[in-house]
Amino acid sequence: MTLDRLPLGQPARIAAVDWAGLDPVEGRRLRSLGLDTGARVQLAHRGIFGGGDPLAVEVGRMLVAIRRSHARAMQVEPMTADWA
C-alpha cells in the first residue's frame, strides 16, 4: 500500500521509496525530513482542496506536509497501534 492510501491514524513503516520517480531535489528534501525507508509514519490529515493535497504526516515527533504524489511514491507496511 502507498502512503497516500494509508488510513488516517494508522501507524506504518516505510518499506520502499521510488526515488527514481521523484525529482532529485524533492527526494533530498523528503530524506532530510526523515521520510526514508524504515521510518515510522502516521497519516494525520488529508487536505480538503485539489484532490486531498497536502497530506500531513507524522514522522517521529514532527508533523510534515507533503504532496500526494510524493506519498504515492512510498510503499508502507501497516503496524500495530503500540509502535511508539
C-alpha cell at 31: 530524506
pTM for this predicted structure: 0.88
> What is the Cα–Cα distance from 28 to 19, expressed in whole angstroms?
9
Residue pair 64/79 in contact (Cβ under 8 Å)? The answer is: no
Domains of the chain: 3-78 (2.30.30.90)
Residue pair 73/17 in contact (Cβ under 8 Å)? The answer is: yes
From the list 69, 12, 66, 64, the residue with the least C-alpha distance to 42 is 12
Per-position pLDDT tens, the chain of length 84:
999 999 999 999 999 999 999 999 999 999 999 999 999 999 999 988 767 789 999 998 999 999 999 999 999 999 976 655
